[in-house]
Amino acid sequence: MAKRQVTLAEVKTLIEQGILSEKGDGQAWISHHFQGRGDNLVCAAVLVADAVIIKTVMVDWQQRQPS
């Protein structure tokens, strides 16, 4: 988070208001556009089970189209 200058408040908003894109096997991405950030989209790679576990937070993220 610090390396990408993403605040804890932004991560909370990302989780609560972001768009969930499931990858399968409990893995997913959650992405959200933040006004005022020049490096949108912000995305979290997560594991979804009884709780959401954030593996990493990325900026300037683009979801790849399935091939």
Over residues 19-28, the pLDDT tens digits come to 999 888 899 9
Tokens linked to 53: 């576990």
CA–CA distance, 33 with 39 (Å, rounded to integer): 9
Q: Which pLDDT tens digit goes with each residue over 38-52?
A: 888 899 999 988 888
pLDDT surpassing 90 at residue 1: no
CA–CA distance, 42 with 44 (Å, rounded to integer): 7
pTM given for the model: 0.81
CA–CA distance, 6 with 37 (Å, rounded to integer): 10
pLDDT at 61: 81
Q: What percent of the chain has pLDDT over 70?
A: 94
pLDDT at 66: 60
Name the strand (E) or helix (H) holding 15. Answer: helix 8-17
